[in-house]
Amino acid sequence: MRFNTFRMMALLLLTISYSCKTSPPKPVTKEEAKEFATKLEVSVRKREAAFFNEAIDKKEMLKRADFPESGDSRSFRKGMERGMQMGDNINKSLTEKGTYSLVKQYEKDGNQHLVFRLYDNGSLNYHDLELIHMGEEVKIADIFVYTTGQLLSETLHGVFVQMKGMMDKNSGISADDEWVRRMPEIRTLITQEKYQEALDLYEQMPVSVKNIRAMQIVHIEICSGLEMEQYDKALKEYQGLYPNEPNMNLLMIDGYIMHKEYDKALEAVNALDKQINTDPMLDYYRYLCFNLMDDQPKGIESLEKLMKTMPDFEEGWLN
């Protein structure tokens, strides 16, 4: 069980320019959110990328990313624009059995939210989508990505700030440097499961770039396809650079299991479930933990609970 934790790195490579402010849109209703969720889930199931590609309110996402109006910012946005196709990115990252499923719908601060689970062969991630209106259409204003522990707009802002800082300190670094152009190539190699080739490219990047939070997540994903020692090292490196992050419950389940700290893995699963409030699929991970702890009664109890809520989950009924 390895978490290829950052299948969505391509989502970081996005942005477009935006114009003047508009009046606040009317709130999305519960019924509209439910209909949107159904369309999104069906489109991914059919591997039809167009709906998700067009689902992001790009103007709002960029506004929230809070890029300064400067030449560096415009250059950065232009370079990131190619990664905006979320539907294409998700479809490319999923195998035939991979799923993108609605976990829950809720309201926060008057806005409708949808929590989706991205699952594929042991790889787990969650996206919390905040919905708004753009005209009469329902769009995604921002996404809280559980593997990063941040809103996507915050991640984009942070990446730009770190890159801008490096460019200011070293005039030899620019947004058009070779390492920037190789980021999509790394994503392609990960999707093709060519992890060693992806690591070779990653290692050619400057240390300051490798220490960027988003790139650290990519490093973990790369190493999840390599030897356990490399994966463990990548997790510890991230912990050292970014301790006490809200995404550690999701990231560290594998790490605890590797070190045979099954009780801590179970605690991480429970904490993640509390953070999501709640996902029935996590009973499958409870079963795995109890099984490793040789607690058969609790393992069976978790598995039976899983089958009552998710009878079509193949890995559950196979176990």
Looking at the structure, do residues 242 and 260 belong to the same domain, yes or no?
Answer: no
What's the CA gap between 151 and 197, in Å, rounded?
30
In a domain, residue 108? The reply is yes
Q: How far apart are CA 274 and CA 43, in angstroms?
A: 29
| pLDDT reported for residue 20 | 40
Residue at a domain's end among 205, 228, 246: 246
CA distances in angstroms from 40 to 51, 105, 113, 179, listed in the order given:
7, 13, 13, 34
Structurally, the chain folds into a number of domains equal to 2
209 and 260 housed in the same domain:
no
Other beta carbons within 10 angstroms of residue 62's beta carbon come to 20
pLDDT average per 10 residues of sequence, the chain (319 residues)? 41 35 74 98 96 89 77 62 74 87 96 96 91 94 91 82 61 53 78 90 87 88 90 91 84 88 94 94 96 95 95 88
Residues 35 and 139 in one domain: yes
> What local confidence, expressed as pLDDT, does residue 289 receive?
96
Query: Domain of 58?
Result: 9-246
Task: Looking at the structure, tell me whether residues 202 and 276 fall in a common domain.
Answer: no
Is residue 184 located within the same domain as residue 261? Answer: no
**Which of 200, 222, 246 delimits the end of a domain?**
246
Percentages of the chain per state (helix, strand, coil), in multiples of 5:
55, 15, 30
Question: What per-residue confidence (pLDDT) applies to 6?
Answer: 37
Residue the block writes with tokens 């594929």:
120
Same domain, 228 and 273: no
Domain boundary among 246, 280, 307: 246
pLDDT at 215: 87
Q: Are residues 235 and 259 in the same domain?
A: no
Give me the DSSP letters along 193-215. T-HHHHHHHHHTS-HHHHTSHHH
**Three-state SS at 102:** strand
**Residue 319 maps to which CATH number?**
1.25.40.10
Residue 297, pLDDT score: 95
Q: What's the token pair of residue 310? A: 């998710």
Q: Report how far residue 138's alpha carbon sits from residue 46's, in angstroms, rounded to the nearest whole number.
A: 21
